[in-house]
Structure 1
Amino acid sequence: MAGGLWGVVRRHPRAWLAGAATLAFVLLGGSAFAVGASVGGAGGETLPGAVPVTSTATVAPEPTSTQRPQPQVAPVGGPVRTCSVAEEVSDGRLGTFLGQVRDAATGEVLLDRSGTTPARTASVMKVLTSAAALAVLGPDHRVATTVVKGSTPGQIVLVGGGDITLASGSSNIYTDSASMLDLAAQVKQAWSADPTTSGTPITSIVLDASVFSGDRWQPSWNRKEQRDGYSSEVTGLQVDGDRAEPSANVSARSDDAVARAGQAFADALGVSPALSEGVAPAGAAQLGQVLSAPVSTMIPDALLRSDNTEAEMLARLVAVELGVGSDFAALNVAIPQALAKYGLDTSGLTIADGSGLSDDNGVPPDFLTRLFVKIQNQEADLSVIYHGLPVAGKTGTLSGRFGGSASVAVGHVIAKTGWIDTGYTLSGIIEAADGTVLTFAFFALDDVGDSAKAALDSLTAAAYTCGGALSNR
């Protein structure tokens, strides 16, 4: 009998296994399956597609607890994020909203609304310009303003190196600025000490601003920025950022920044020469030189006050240093080339200026959140930006911001503000309530007004509260 049975098994193994499985199911599992089919889905509802099963098998008593036991298995994937900022994102004051929030430690994007779409940045552009300047010029770079002999007797040439922070007097709004008074003192001493010029009056001053070329006013800019005192023309030679009031942040600017600088130099010399624009003769003897504060000093100035003229100077000097040109068009080559040194993909950038005044700039929020990760980590010399950014509710252009319910984030956000007629922006770093460090970029564009600032602050504060639990819903 045994031999016959095993012979059947050997000849028909699959049939034997199927039959055995069926028998085991009937004996051991039939009643349990019947109970499962009868109970159906959660809440007592029958699961879709279930077929009622009738069984006469003995049904085991139901357990006293109605909760199904859960398997003790570690969750798969990342953390569950349930903290929503959907209400703040949908605030009508934000107009057309683009934004992104990234976990600085992991690089993971936690919130994204058209984050890869390039758009105008307003003054957030100054962060890109500052990073480019640090990458190309370096934090210790200083800008020279020089005086050399002219090509005719009694003539000197004032050669601008691009330093718009040069003070007409002893000081101005810029930290540790060079002084035209010091330069004039050097020139008078050198002029008197040289037998070929001693006793000869200075009768003409040539003003050399050729370090920068092309348009002095970006064609897409609104001239009211100049009239209202927010920005000067971009010239390689000027004093006090071309302000009528050297110590005022917002001050009337002139229609000829180079001529104003020439007159300031003549006044410092105590002479009344003829002034004209031109170029210094090659190899001319130097009579004097002053140096600006280092880039590491100028960048916090530009960021805290959102100084348009200073930002344009830094951007143009980057282009000159890279040898790609010295006009506005050169910036679209120079700034991406400089930023690529940080290992960032710059292919999606369009750079029309260094200050962010132009609507023609195009920078995706995604690029900014990536750049701010580098700034958070203080890579290379980016610590200059990290320590130079306005602090929410405390310094710079954020000193009067983050009021009301947004005050929970005061002191926990460092960011650059931006405002032009067609948009308000805010981008930087959040040290969230749960300890997570986030980088963010928020753009409120198109039909927006001054109330957009409060909406941006509320959204940023909401992200601060959510921290690592921030949901993309």
Structure 2
Amino acid sequence: MNDLATAAGLATFQGTVRQADTGEVLFDRSGDVYSRTASVMKILTSSAALAVLGPDYRVSTTVVAGSAPGTVVLVGGGDVTLSSGSSNIYNNTATMGDLATQVKAAWAANPANAGVPISTIVLDSSLFSGDNWQSSWDRIEQTEGSTAEVTALMVDGDRADPNADTSPRSADPVSRAGEAFKSSLGSVASGAQLVAGTALPGAITLGVVQSAPVSTMVQEAILRSDNTEAEMLARLTAIKLGDGSSFSSLQKAITSALHDNYGLDVSNLVIVDGSGLSNDDAVSADFLTTLFDKINARVGNLGVILDGLPVADQTGTLSYRFTGANSVVNGKVIAKTGSIDTANTLAGVVHAKDGTTLTFAFFSLNSTLDAGREALDSLTVGIYNCGNALSNN
């Protein structure tokens, strides 16, 4: 194992392996050092969301009557999965078409609106506050299509192609959502203007649609490593806890959720986003394996994560990993991948050759993408072969 853990492709390596049933640390290399996680951060975000929001929570998008004649207000509830058409890459989405159908019926049912078109659509994205883009993120993630700006009102994860995993995102997700709603309303709003604003308290509801449950969205975010969906879950968790609605709210919200619900020591965690896209996030391999012990044991609602993790050579971001000689672990490794410019990470559960269940977290820092992934995969195969005989020597 030492040869695998010192492979050149790993560059700077940190890692921990535990016996899942006992929590015993079988292997450790700087496992107490806190470093950037890349997309493995989504495991922390998802664990917090499942505890705070619950697996059955659904996100609402609402339309209410405006304060002036001919005006309606489209109120974003944070649902990035809302579909502009009949479908998109997400599962069981709410659609603008359904929302528009409700609004047109409510509009027509009011005698005061007889012969009056909808002339103004107010776009209310005020649920989320602060910057739409984390200052440590590279804008190439937006233009090349892995990540959208974080807004409370958008459609299709703001993808130009709703059915493509990676697709360029816009500079104005809120306006794109407004245009989709206007189009769905058809002739009743053909001349409507779109303006930014907020709904009045107590305004009459004209229509509401709801997202798939959090359990579905968590599994999507993990399986496909969807940055935008993860940021939504993080922001909604902070709002539910009353900690705020901006990037700066996430440190307190996610750490308190992990501590209060799972008893984890969060004193050294640094959380600046929900997706792991930032180099400024900091988590240790030891922390991750402790959390994965709880995920493997299905503590609370964490079984949702266990059931949604990518499986080696079968699903999600592991569907193309562990090839050739490494295919011996196919179906035996379930884990979250992570890749950013300065880090490759892999963390999850291994059902070892001898029947032992192991939890692991490996960080390959300052490595190249291909070399880092290959070295991480080979190391994971190594712990599969060792099982309970794994030694720290």
- TM-score higher than 0.5 here? yes
Q: Identify the match of residue 295 of structure 2 among 375, 379, 388.
A: 375
Q: In structure 1, what is the Cα distance between the partners aligned to 2:191 and 2:182?
A: 6
Q: In structure 1, what is the Cα distance between the partners aligned to 2:354 and 2:115?
A: 73
Structure 1 residues without counterparts, runs of 5 or longer: 1-84
Q: What SS does the corresponding residue of 2:61 show, helix, strand or coil?
A: strand
Q: TM-score normalized by structure 1?
A: 0.82
Alignment correspondent of 1:107: 23
Look up the equivalent residue of 2:215 and give its one-letter code: S
Q: In structure 2, what is the Cα distance between the partners aligned to 1:206 and 1:367?
A: 45
1:450: Cα distance to partner?
A: 2.0
Alignment correspondent of 2:377: 457
Contact in 2 for aligned 1:93/1:449 (Cα 8 Å):
no
Q: Quick check: 193-202 or 295-304, which moved more?
A: 193-202
Q: Identify the match of residue 410 of structure 1 among 324, 330, 351.
A: 330
Alignment correspondent of 1:38: none
Contact in 1 for aligned 2:339/2:369 (Cα 8 Å):
no
Q: In structure 2, what is the Cα distance between the partners aligned to 1:343 and 1:447?
A: 33
Alignment correspondent of 2:192: 273
Q: In structure 1, what is the Cα distance between the partners aligned to 2:376 and 2:246?
A: 34
Q: Identify the match of residue 133 of structure 2 among 217, 223, 246.
A: 217
Q: Deviations over 1:425-464 (max 9, x none)?
A: 0000001111111000000001433221111000001000
1:222: Cα distance to partner?
A: 0.3
Q: Identify the match of residue 353 of structure 2 among 433, 437, 458.
A: 433
Q: Identify the match of residue 336 of structure 1 among 239, 248, 255.
A: 255
Q: Deviations over 1:386-431 (max 9, x none)?
A: 0000001110000000012211111101000000000100000001
Alignment correspondent of 2:51: 135
Look up the equivalent residue of 1:469 and give its one-letter code: A
Contact in 2 for aligned 1:149/1:157 (Cα 8 Å):
yes
Alignment correspondent of 1:71: none
Q: In structure 2, what is the Cα distance between the partners aligned to 1:435 and 1:112?
A: 21
Q: Identify the match of residue 304 of structure 1 among 192, 212, 223.
A: 223
Alignment correspondent of 1:352: 272
Q: Identify the match of residue 257 of structure 1 among 160, 164, 173.
A: 173
Contact in 1 for aligned 2:83/2:96 (Cα 8 Å):
yes
Contact in 2 for aligned 1:266/1:272 (Cα 8 Å):
no
Q: In structure 1, what is the Cα distance between the partners aligned to 2:191 and 2:298?
A: 50
Q: What SS does the corresponding residue of 2:376 show, helix, strand or coil?
A: helix
Alignment correspondent of 1:15: none
Q: What SS does the corresponding residue of 1:98 show, helix, strand or coil?
A: strand
Q: How does 1:125-274 map to 2 (within 5 A)?
A: 125-270=41-186, 271-274=190-193
Look up the equivalent residue of 2:345 and give its one-letter code: T
1:246: Cα distance to partner?
A: 0.4
Q: In structure 2, what is the Cα distance between the partners aligned to 1:102 and 1:88?
A: 17
Look up the equivalent residue of 1:230 and give its one-letter code: S
Structure 2 residues without counterparts, runs of 5 or longer: none
Q: What SS does the corresponding residue of 1:268 show, helix, strand or coil?
A: helix
Q: In structure 2, what is the Cα distance between the partners aligned to 1:192 and 1:94?
A: 64
Alignment correspondent of 1:289: 208
1:383: Cα distance to partner?
A: 0.8
Look up the equivalent residue of 1:425 and give its one-letter code: T
Q: Does 1:95 align with 2:11?
A: yes
Q: In structure 1, what is the Cα distance between the partners aligned to 2:112 and 2:37?
A: 55
Q: Identify the match of residue 397 of structure 1 among 296, 308, 317.
A: 317
Could you list the structure 1 runs, at least 4 aligned residues long, displaced by more than 4 angstroms after superposition. none
Q: Deviations over 1:188-210 (max 9, x none)?
A: 00000011223211001110001
Look up the equivalent residue of 2:85 and give its one-letter code: G
Look up the equivalent residue of 1:204 and give its one-letter code: T
Contact in 1 for aligned 2:344/2:367 (Cα 8 Å):
no
Contact in 2 for aligned 1:393/1:399 (Cα 8 Å):
yes
Q: In structure 1, what is the Cα distance between the partners aligned to 2:351 and 2:321?
A: 17
Q: Identify the match of residue 308 of structure 2 among 388, 391, 398.
A: 388
Q: Identify the match of residue 244 of structure 2 among 317, 325, 339.
A: 325
Q: Which has the higher contact order (CA 8 A, sep 6+)?
A: 2
Alignment root-mean-square deviation, CA:
0.7
Look up the equivalent residue of 2:154 and give its one-letter code: Q
Q: In structure 2, what is the Cα distance between the partners aligned to 1:432 and 1:198?
A: 69
Q: What SS does the corresponding residue of 1:156 show, helix, strand or coil?
A: strand
Alignment correspondent of 2:232: 313
Q: In structure 1, what is the Cα distance between the partners aligned to 2:185 and 2:367?
A: 51
Q: In structure 2, what is the Cα distance between the partners aligned to 1:117 and 1:471?
A: 20
Contact in 2 for aligned 1:405/1:458 (Cα 8 Å):
no
Q: Quick check: 401-410 or 210-219, which moved more?
A: 401-410
Q: What SS does the corresponding residue of 1:451 show, helix, strand or coil?
A: helix
Alignment correspondent of 1:469: 389
Q: Deviations over 1:203-235 (max 9, x none)?
A: 011100011000000000000000110000000
